Structure 1
């Protein structure tokens, strides 16, 4: 099973995307529909809302008067929090029931309007944000839903900003144009990413990668992608992690690299490494079945666990090392030394481009050709660390 979070601001058109995903085969769990279900007449949720806000939020026939309640909560953040404290736990429990009922090969899309606001992004291996400019969202709310402009603006402004949503988004889906364009984008997303992601995750296999090293220009979003990945891993691993870091070339601003996010997890011992690795499917990662080794500068071999991406849209290497291994420290030292030395970044970039352009049969061969430079860089970095008092 693959769980996907779907969100977007009011009026952005999440329902259009959710409907198209359902047509392609996704199981859509709609938080708005559940939110209505848990406050239907006779439900404990409705009784709790009336206790908090009074009988004025009921219609004459005893149903929830949504416009009346909305006028209260969208004008007062404290009252909105009070409503959320009642409804969100009820919605969460019902969501979990519906997800559990989906099949083992399902792509479950959880349509959650306040996914970002409620800090839920880390619970999903992939988050889709549906976007439209505020002016278009405002027009839709006024023209299509009959809202007064002040009410529409209040609802828009009560939600997360575009920047906050973009920070949570693995997929930023523009829904400001014609319907046919949005549907085509959803179709491509399903075919090229979501369906194979689920199949890879279920089978426990890595998504395909280029057989040889391909160096790309630095992507300013690599840091945000690393943060999202680490948040997902922390959500799964919890206090078993001694530390978790984005390291490797994509963690160094301005450094060309293979488009792979490398993260390093440090845990108590090999048993903890195996335990964490076995659970990272919840974060979209699968464990490599082979036996992997680290070799430190003294030539001592030490085990590590290794997880990689099932997602064809984002290559990831997740190295899980016991705290007794010195290798994790070296990775952080090299990262921080490069961040502090622009000349070394340029030197390393030139070498990477040169080696990638040479004939090589595999990424491993490319990596082995870099080893002399990396070892020399670590020696320089160690001198720098002693001078400046660096510690990981």
Structure 2
């Protein structure tokens, strides 16, 4: 892993399966002074009403994928993506270049401010296979699959089958752990206070 120089921040990839607590870790690092670049947040902005990705999505998939409020019909698109690998790849081919461009812009802004640590919150970091070359290290937030299911059911009101369908579309726990330079274990018995304390230790390691 390359160390951050005085001119360039350390580029930390942050990932974890749904329900792992990855986003909580990312927000805590941001509170400690890291620049957080959230791929999901960028994707949501691209598919919100007036988002840059919507005209192409409508052209490729049809206007019924645009909801009444002018944003992406997320439930319908989720159904299509989970049912068909080709559909998911088509959607990714639309979103990924746009996400990459906004990521470059946000990274440049972080460099300009002299930020020591840039956290790239990337849910599908392992799956994409294209991010690793742009990162100096990868932090995986890990928990058991049964914990993921319990958390997402409680948080989103989804059924067991729906949660497992989402998990099936993601990399396996073993694949994420194999890609990790560091692992932050966030499972049963780890309180939010303990998770914050662990995250603060990581922030301090980067001088935040």
TM-score, length basis structure 1? 0.48
Per-residue CA distance 1:305-355 (angstroms, 9 max, x = gap) = xxxxxxxxxxxxxxxxxxxxxxxxxxxxxxxxxxxxxxxxxxxxxxxxxxx
Which of 66, 69, 76 is equivalent to 2:74? 66
Aligned to 1:106: 116
Greater radius of gyration (CA): 1
In 2, the alpha carbon distance for the partners of 1:140 and 1:24 equals: 26
Report the counterpart of residue 181 of structure 1 in structure 2: 194
Aligned equivalents of 1:124, 1:44: Cα separation in 2: 26
How far 1:50 moved relative to its partner? 1.5
Count of residues in Structure 1 that have an aligned counterpart in Structure 2: 195
8 Å Cα contact 2:116-2:207 kept in structure 1: no
Unaligned runs of 5+ in 1: 197-392
- The answer (yes or no) to whether the contact 1:75–1:154 under 8 Å persists in 2 is no
The residue that corresponds to 1:385 in the other structure is none
Alignment partner of 1:54 is 2:98: no
8 Å CA contact 2:34–2:115 kept in 1: the answer is no
**Structure 1 residue 136: Cα displacement:** 0.8
RMSD of the alignment, in Å? 1.4
How many angstroms apart in 2 are the aligned matches of 1:12 and 1:95? 23
Q: Which structure shows the higher strand fraction? A: 1
Q: Structure 2 stretches of 5 or more lacking a match? A: 1-8
Are residues 149 and 53 of structure 1, via their aligned partners in 2, closer, same or farther at CA, if it must alter by over 3 Å?
farther
2:32 is the alignment partner of 1:24? yes
Aligned partner (choices 143, 148, 151) of residue 159 of structure 2:
148
Correspondence 1:1-392 to 2 at 5 A? 1-102=9-110, 103-119=113-129, 120-176=131-187, 177-191=190-204, 193-195=205-207
Equivalent pair of 1:121/1:168 in contact (CA under 8 Å): no
> 1: CA distance between counterparts of 2:147 and 2:59?
37
TM-score (norm 2): 0.89
Return the alpha-carbon distance in structure 2 between the equivalents of residues 44 and 186 of structure 1: 34
- What do residues 197-226 of structure 1 show as CA deviations (whole Å, max 9, x unaligned)? xxxxxxxxxxxxxxxxxxxxxxxxxxxxxx
